A = this chain, B = another copy of it.
Amino acid sequence: MSAPDHVLKLGTINPNLVKMEYAVRGPIPIRAVELIQELKNNVPKPFDEVIRANIGDCHLMGETPITFIRQVLSSSLSPKSAMNDSNIPSDVKERVKLLLSYCGGNSVGSYSDSAGVEIIRKHIAEYISKRDGFPSLWQNIILTSGASEGVKLIFSLINSSSADGKPTGVMVPIPQYPLYSATCSELGLHLISYYLDEENEWALNIEELERALNESTKLCHPKAIVVINPGNPTGAVLTKENIVQIIQFARNNNLLIIADEVYQHNIWKEGAEFHSFKKVLKENSVENLELVSLMSASKGYMGECGLRGGYMELENFHPEVRAILTKQISARLCSALIGQLAMDCIVRPPEPGEPSYEIYKKEKDSVLASLKGRAELTFKTLNSLPGIRCNPVSGAMYAFPRIEIPEKAIKEAEKLGQKPDFFYCKQLLESTGICLVPGSGFGQIPGTYHFRTTILPQPDLFRRMMDKFKEFHLKFLKDYE
């Protein structure tokens, strides 16, 4: 048969996907992977290792998994041999028995309800109730494939048509985790950018929210606001007062709040505290404000990214809308059972006195203390350098410092058709092997430049990275003086 043209070409596929961008896995990280291969093939480089500080992938960077979680998961896959294994603690065995008794055919190989295994949803609701001091209903919990799937489900749910042809709008912080802009692009939602207040530790400024919202109403029908707390890429932790203001703003403007709270276990700065939107809503007796809160197994002290565990809690959803969401999730059947079981371990960790408690506590504390040390070191090192200013890394796993890029470097970047912060990160990667993500991938006020670094490389590597970075930065400033 003959060979005609392709059915699928750039001009004949989904234009939203053609436009979409996702910097965390963009050109710089892709180049980093090439460099790793080149090093393996003994291509000479001015460095002997690539340091992947571009992605919040804890285990990739050497963080070790929590024994309790892994024992529960591996035992749930081979329950018969685990039950006879004297090395498996009794609380792990009991947990596995309980969880499997809620899985079809006592197997993690069966589908769960679309929203997840019932007992796990109940444990999550108990965790939230205890965390906040306000009741959580298990029927409002939906297990998801990481938090990312939750975002996509909710963005798709709210994506309505309107008679005037204007799209649905979603307020998204700038800088943001690019999942949000990518999902807006993919689904054809209008992204309403609001700038976080860098001068005020990346807080949300209500005047700025008003400005962004008012300017957007010509272009879209605003329906939701995304807040990331603790912040990605900013490392900020919102104060309770700020959260109250945001809730009032959402209420006044009839917006659904989408609270990305996946870093709720990652609080570093003295005096900073995680306040869930749910808790602040209840404390202030706000009735009927619709809220989605997102959580993940990928961050915190467990860092189980590859298992794809996560959940969302829906608050004050209309029962009819809840029913549509149930239908919406049913076609994808369920999220991975192993990720669901990991979530169970996270929301119901071993208690004092239980056989697994001591080791669990030690491992968790050690991971968190080490991350805290790196958060502080990042802040200090970056602020010690000329032309760099960094807010405290109060929470999460990232710093998003502002860098002054010399005019000469900006011109050089322009010549190459690159954004100045991209140019900076590319130079850094090619000369030191350190892989960061340019601020332009997350958004920034025009004319300002940033990058995002994770704090995830293990302590020794992290110190090496900081030293190499320092050296590069000073040389860069000198070269383009």
- Could you list which residues of chain A lie within 8 angstroms of chain B, going by C-beta atoms? 1-4, 6-10, 12-15, 17-18, 20-22, 24-25, 55, 57-63, 65, 70-71, 73-75, 77-78, 81-82, 87, 103-105, 107-112, 114, 145-146, 148-149, 152, 156-161, 178-179, 182-183, 186, 223-224, 248, 251, 254-256, 284-290, 302-308, 316-318, 320-321, 324, 327-328, 330-339
Contact A148 to B6, CB < 8 A, known contacts A1-B287, A287-B1, A306-B109: no
Residue of B nearest to A248 (CB): B1
Find out whether the CB atom of A87 lies under 8 angstroms from the CB atom of B81: yes
Cβ 8 A contact of A306, one of B14, B108, B224, B332 = B108
Find out whether the CB atom of A8 lies under 8 angstroms from the CB atom of B330: no
Find out whether the CB atom of B55 lies under 8 angstroms from the CB atom of A111: yes
Which residues of B have CB within 8 Å of A22?
327, 330-331
Find out whether the CB atom of A337 lies under 8 angstroms from the CB atom of B306: yes
Cβ 8 A contact of A8, one of B111, B304, B318, B337 = B318
Find out whether the CB atom of B307 lies under 8 angstroms from the CB atom of A148: no
Question: How far apart sit A10 and B186, CA to CA, in the bound complex (Å)?
Answer: 23
Please list 24 pairs of residues, one from A and one from B, whose beta carbons are closer than 8 Å in the complex, sorted by A's number.
A1-B285, A3-B287, A6-B318, A9-B320, A13-B157, A14-B159, A14-B160, A15-B161, A25-B114, A57-B111, A59-B105, A60-B107, A61-B105, A62-B105, A63-B105, A70-B78, A77-B77, A109-B306, A183-B331, A186-B331, A305-B333, A306-B336, A308-B308, A336-B338
Cβ 8 A contact of A74, one of B75, B333, B334, B339 = B75
Find out whether the CB atom of A7 lies under 8 angstroms from the CB atom of B290: yes
Extra A-B contacts (19), CB below 8 Å, given A12-B160, A13-B324:
A2-B287, A3-B288, A7-B255, A7-B290, A9-B318, A13-B157, A13-B158, A17-B324, A17-B327, A22-B330, A57-B105, A70-B78, A109-B305, A145-B308, A145-B332, A186-B328, A306-B337, A308-B333, A308-B334
Contact A8 to B290, CB < 8 A, known contacts A13-B321, A70-B78: yes
Question: How far apart sit A286 and B2, CA to CA, in the bound complex (Å)?
Answer: 7
Which residues of B have CB within 8 Å of A307?
108-109, 336-338
Interface of A is mostly: loop
Find out whether the CB atom of A156 lies under 8 angstroms from the CB atom of B186: yes
Contact A304 to B59, CB < 8 A, known contacts A10-B324, A13-B321: no
- Report which residue of A4, A146, A152, A160 has the largest number of chain B beta carbons within 10 angstroms of its beta carbon: A160
Cβ 8 A contact of A59, one of B58, B109, B224, B320 = B109
Residue of B nearest to A18 (CB): B324
Question: How far apart sit A249 and B10, CA to CA, in the bound complex (Å)?
Answer: 24
Question: How far apart sit A2 and B288, CA to CA, in the bound complex (Å)?
Answer: 9
Residue of B nearest to A161 (CB): B15
Which residues of B have CB within 8 Å of A306?
103-104, 107-112, 334, 336-338
Question: How far apart sit A224 and B8, CA to CA, in the bound complex (Å)?
Answer: 10
Cβ 8 A contact of A336, one of B78, B327, B339 = B339
Question: How far apart sit A63 and B109, CA to CA, in the bound complex (Å)?
Answer: 10
| Nearest CB in chain B: distance from A271 CB, A | 28
Which residues of B have CB within 8 Å of A75?
74
| Nearest CB in chain B: distance from A223 CB, A | 6
Question: How far apart sit A22 and B145, CA to CA, in the bound complex (Å)?
Answer: 20
